[in-house]
Amino acid sequence: MSVPNKELSNGNTIPQIGLGLWQVTDEEQFAAAFKAAVKTGYRHFDSAQAYHNEDMLGRAWTSSKLKREDIFITTKINISHFKPKTLHETFEESLKKLQTDYVDLLLLHFPVTLLRKNAWQTLEALQTSGLAKNIGVSNFTIRHLEELKTYANQIPVINQVEMHVFLQQPELVKYCQNNNIQIEAYSPLAHAHIMDNETVSKIAEKYNKTYAQVLLRFLVERGFVVLPKSVTPKRIEENFNIFDFSLDEQDMKDLAKEDLDKRFCWSPVHIP
């Protein structure tokens, strides 16, 4: 099954589903998950300096039969590495660990107060030098994105945020759409905290799909890139198989009503 690509504001593209790699730090488990993902059809892999598995991703993809140009690799700058000199040095280390001379997407992991301006300008320089094909941010609110406009030479192509049926962030979504910023949804399954929602269950039964597939399809229908995380081959495959059905208008309306504004990850809302 082929994965749709989403076009970014700079004309580049990103696969609409990627394998989230947060908390996958066991080498054997990582290798098995990567192998299962590649077999299923994943070509987009989302890592970060803070995940402590960039080296595992580097070993996994280089030992596969994939060509570098056939995969999409994301990493993120750790919040303790935002000072320009440290950012440069640690990003060079990331490239070595990932065994590549560029990343497809480089993100600032969080809107660190006082440091994000220089950090963003450093990312712009890395993109100009060809070390990052695309640059973006993660966990930025409207306020942070508005501030970024005052010093950025270019707007982020991606804002990677917690997004799921139970945290829909409509104001942020509208803002990003109006500013041509692609939303990338991490924790799209809400860390499996709410797996008994009646509306989701009924829709899953209607399409003979799983609960998780409906959660993911809702985000895909909204045009987001989704990053489900799993190390279980069966679930890795299940999460991928969401492009052979569509939710109808009523399904989307019903699911929109299930928004609880509920976060299960770190919140940037009160960061100045």
- Residues annotated as catalytic are 51
Is residue 184 classed as helix, strand or coil in its secondary structure? strand
Query: Which structure tokens are listed for 221?
Result: 């229908």
Quick one: DSSP state of residue 8? P
Q: Which long-range contacts (CB under 8 A, 24 or more apart) does 12-15 make?
A: 12/133, 12/134, 12/157, 14/44, 14/72, 14/104, 14/105, 14/134, 14/158, 14/182, 14/184, 14/225, 15/42, 15/43, 15/44, 15/72, 15/225
Is residue 88 classed as helix, strand or coil in its secondary structure? helix
Show Cβ contacts of residue 178 under 8 Å, excluding neighbours closer than 6 positions. none
